[in-house]
Amino acid sequence: MKPAWHPYLQRNVPRYTSYPSALAFSEDVGTPQLETALSGIGQYEPISLYLHIPFCKQLCWYCGCNMRVENRDERIAAYADDLISELGLLGAQLAGRGRLTQVHFGGGTPNTLQARDLERLLAAIEDNFRLTDATPVAMEIDPRLCSAFQAAHLVRAGINRFSIGVQDFHEDVQRAINRVQPFELVRDCVAMLRQGGVRDISLDLLYGLPKQTGRGFADTVSRSISLAPDRISLFGYAHLPARLKHQRLINERDLPSRDERTELAEMAAQQLEEAGYQRIGFDHFALPTTPIAEAARRHTLNRNFQGYTEDCANVVIGAGVSAISSVHGTIVQNAKDLRAWQARLRAGALTANRGVIATLEEEDLGDWIKRLLCDMRASLTRYFDIIQADGPTCEGIINALQPFVIDGIISIDGDDVVVAREATPLARVVAAVFDPHVNDIQRYASPAV
């Protein structure tokens, strides 16, 4: 990355997996607003369903997810019971409306579910959301839990997309984050899924972890490529010990510097592209023949709470503790506390207890930002039409963009603002210039801030 670009990395900007972001959530929006929004879903409108499974067998010190360590199968089964109840309540609100285009099991660790509980959940999805054999069903899995028996069962049950958490293959890094899993274990997990006929496997890699080095992470990327995954996600570790107490177990002296993090990310991206992977947005890579790569080329790529996706659904319904739903501008989150979530469901009620209702302008602006982050270009005229900006506001935004143009991060192509190919890691920083919720345009006038 060009040295002039490094100061931009210091800016704290939203991930833009929704708009407005979770920072705008309040307790004034919750279940009643979600129920109203669900009643407005069209008869055949595409719907993406997310199910959050919060349980893990062991705490990974880097984790930023809503999770809890649980080793008692009966408690996980009880959670599945409550999740089935929630699916029933959501299905009743939909009353047969909507067309399911994708199911995603996230966590936590979804493959903590026992076979019988997964089968019950899939049956509930079929009953309430009309799940078909053609619907992609994805699951995040911990390879340390994936036996040959489990892999075969997951495939038979209908899971046809898998995301495997790798992070880093080097033992000293793994010990520093409390997640030890040898390369051979991941290799065998991939092989078992391939033998079952799975054709869509993704690996998750994480840079910025303690004790990572350029040589070591290059080896991790090389080993990952050797497994021939269809997709690879390349995320940066977010060290937030003030909010996530377990991250205090990580020795901050072992963390790479900001410049070292940047070098790790750039090196990994170069390796992946040289190996034939197509860059998708700013943190995904995929083989050119995959559906997500085809969506990127057709400019139909989507972005939601799971990141970049080829799924066309603009409606996301979240089930499970802390899950987020986005329905026609109503964005709500379920109760984050497990007991509170269970209590509401056992009383026969949905659990959304915080959120935001986007204005029509915010909905349009969210779509505009999505296109910028998916296509790396978007129309300035369309943007100014959305925000109905007056002269001074337009001038302020144009002025705020000038350093980005001077530094080669963006260019103006006719009516479009275009993010330079090498600058895609800075796409969210560019998007933030156009975000009224960031609401201090002047601080973007100089990258030295």
Q: Is the pLDDT of residue 1 over 50?
A: yes
Backbone angles phi, psi at 44, to 5 degrees: -120, 25
Please name each of the domains of the chain with its CATH number: 3-357 (3.80.30.20), 360-444 (1.10.10.920)
pLDDT band (50, 70, 90) for residue 388: confident
CB 350 within 8 A of CB 85: no
pTM over 0.85: yes
- Asked if the model's pLDDT at residue 441 lies above 80, the reply is no
**Mean pLDDT, residues 99-114 taken together:** 97
Contact 217/267 with Cβ under 8 angstroms?
A: yes
Question: Would you state the structure tokens that stand for residue 326, as one six-digit string?
Answer: 């986005």
* CA-based nearest residue to 202, from 281, 267, 147, 284: 284
Average pLDDT, the chain: 94
- N-term to C-term CA, the chain: 19
Reported as a single tens digit per residue, the pLDDT across 172-209 is: 999 999 999 999 999 999 999 999 999 999 999 999 99
Q: Is 159 helix (H, G, I), strand (E, B) or coil?
A: coil
442, pLDDT greater than 80: no
CA separation for the pair 273, 287 (Å, rounded): 10
Q: Is the pLDDT of residue 446 over 50?
A: no
- pLDDT tens, residue by residue, 14-71: 999 999 988 899 999 999 999 999 999 999 999 999 999 999 999 999 999 999 999 9
